[in-house]
Structure 1
Amino acid sequence: MSTTTTEVDPFVHPALFYRGSRQYLDGTLPFIREGLEAGEPVAVAVPGQNLKLIQTELGEMASEVRFLDMTEAGRNPGRIIPGVLRAFADRHSSGRVRIIGEPIWPGRSATEYPACVQHEALINLAFSGRAVTILCPYDLDGLDPEVIRDAEATHPVLIDGSGSRSSGDYAPDRIVRDYNQPLSDPPPGFVTFAFGNGTLALVRAFAVDYASRTGLAGERLEDLRLIVSELAANSLDYGGGSGVLRLWSEDLRVVFDISDAGHIADPLAGRRPVGPRHPGSRGLLVTNLLSDLVRVHTAHGATTVRVYFNVR
C-alpha cells in the first residue's frame, strides 16, 4: 500500500478585516506579542496613525519591533516586496518571521490601487515556501466594497470579528491578470521621444530637461535620470531594439512612460533581488525602489512601464 503526503506551504498570508481602532488592536497586538514571545522577528509596516496606535499600546515591547510608516516606505506598491517585506525577511532567514503590512488604506488613489492589489496578489508567489507570516489589515469602514472583495481573492485566510476562515474566493493569479490592463492615455500637452540604438544619451537628456523644467531637482532628478536610462536600455536590449518615451505633468507629479515591443513574462520582475543573469530585471527593480509609483501593462509584443515622481 502506498501513501501520499501533501506539503503545507509554511507561508501564511491572512487578511484582517476590522472596524475601528479597538478591532484593529485586537487583531494586531496578539499577533505581535505571540511572535515576540516565540522569539520571532516582528516588523510592522502600516500607515502612520495606525503605527502610533500600535506603538502606544505595546509600551516597552515596542522597542523589540521594527516599525515602518507604510505611507512612506510603501508609497509605491511595487517597492513593498523588495524594499520592505523581503528586506526584513531576508535579514532574518533562520526562522519564522512575522510582518504586519497595510498597503491599502483609505486615501489611496484610483491610480495607485491597481498596483496595490497586484502587489497583494504577488506576495503569495514571492513568499511561497518561506516561513513567513504577513498579516494585512483592511479597514471595512473606510475602504470600498470592491477592495474588500479583492482582498478575499488575494488572501487565502480571512480574519474578522467572528474568527478565522479560509477564503472561498482566493484567486491571486486572476487578480494579477485582471489588473494588467492598458494604461490610460496621457493628458493633452505630453511630449514624446522615439529612440533606438545609439540614442540612449539623447533620450536621457530629453527626459531630464523636461523634468527639471517642471520642478524636479536634486537627488530626485538624478533618480529619474537613472530610471529613464535603465528602462530605455531594457527596450533596446529586450524590447525590440527601440521604444517611445512620453512625458507630462499632472497633480504636482512628473510622469513618464516607456513603451516597446517586449513582454515581461516574470510577474515578479522588479520585485525581488536579482543577479546579473536576470535580463532586464535590475532596471525594473531600480525603478520600483526609486519611484513614487509604477504602473505596468504587458502583453505579447507590447509593454508600457509608467513612472510617477512627486514634485515636492
Structure 2
Amino acid sequence: MCRQVLCASFARGRITALRRTLAERVAGEGLGGRRLEDFVVAVNEVITNAVLHGGGGGTVRVWWQHGRLWCEVADEGPGMGSWSSALPPPSGFEAGGRGLWLVRLLCEHVTIVSGPVGTTVTFSVTRG
C-alpha cells in the first residue's frame, strides 16, 4: 500500500517554503528526531541541485510504502552528463559538490536516473 504525503512543484525562491511544508507533513506522519532531520536535509540537497543544475525547478513527491518513507525529485534539465554512482566524498574545502554524497550517507535505496531530458533521484528512509 502506498500513501502520498506530498506532491509539489518547486523553483528558485520557493525552496525554503517547500522545506518547511515537507518537515511539517513528514513530522505529522510520525517521522521524528534525527531521521526527520536527515530526510529533510536530503530532500533539500536534491531540490537545490535541481534548481541550480537541472533547469531551475522540478517536482517532488513523498510517500510511505512498506514502512519506508520515499522521495522522488525530478527535473527537466540537461542531465548530469558523465557521473559515477559511487560518488566519492568531496575533497578539501570546495564550495558545493556535497549534495548527492550527503543523500547517500543519510538515506537508503538511492537511485539516480539521468539523461538529456532530465534527472530523477529517488531515495528512502525507514520509520526508525
Under a length normalisation based on structure 2, what TM-score does the superposition of the two structures give? 0.86
Report what 1:286 is aligned to: 102
CA shift for structure 1 position 191: 3.0
Q: Check if 1:306 corresponds to 2:118.
A: no
Report what 1:229 is aligned to: 44
CA distance in 1, matches of 2:59, 2:103: 17
Report what 2:19 is aligned to: 204
Instruction: Specify every segment of 5 or more residues in structure 1 that has no aligned partner in the other structure, as ranges.
Output: 1-186
Contact 2:6 2:22 in 1 (8 A): no
CA deviations on 1:199-223 (whole Å, 9 max, x unpaired) are: 0111111221222122211011111
SS in 1 for 2:98: helix
Give the structure with the larger strand fraction: 2
CA deviations on 1:44-78 (whole Å, 9 max, x unpaired) are: xxxxxxxxxxxxxxxxxxxxxxxxxxxxxxxxxxx
CA deviations on 1:251-307 (whole Å, 9 max, x unpaired) are: 111111110023122332661022436x6x410000001102212211112111011
User: CA separation of 1:213/1:270 partners in 2, compared to 1, >3 Å: closer, same or farther?
Assistant: farther
Contact 1:270 1:286 in 2 (8 A): no
CA deviations on 1:100-128 (whole Å, 9 max, x unpaired) are: xxxxxxxxxxxxxxxxxxxxxxxxxxxxx
Larger RCO (CA under 8 A, 6+ residues apart)? 2
Report what 2:84 is aligned to: 268
Aligned residues: 124
User: CA separation of 1:191/1:239 partners in 2, compared to 1, >3 Å: closer, same or farther?
Assistant: same
Residue pairs, 1:72-221, within 5 angstroms: 187=2, 189=4, 191-221=6-36
CA shift for structure 1 position 232: 1.1
CA distance in 2, matches of 1:310, 1:255: 9
Residue pairs, 1:41-80, within 5 angstroms: none
Contact 2:76 2:119 in 1 (8 A): yes
Report what 1:253 is aligned to: 68
CA distance in 1, matches of 2:39, 2:27: 10
CA RMSD of aligned residues (A): 1.9
CA distance in 1, matches of 2:39, 2:19: 9
Instruction: Specify every segment of 5 or more residues in structure 2 that has no aligned partner in the other structure, as ranges.
Output: none
CA distance in 1, matches of 2:100, 2:5: 23
Give the structure with the larger helix fraction: 1
User: CA separation of 1:270/1:198 partners in 2, compared to 1, >3 Å: closer, same or farther?
Assistant: farther
Larger radius of gyration: 1
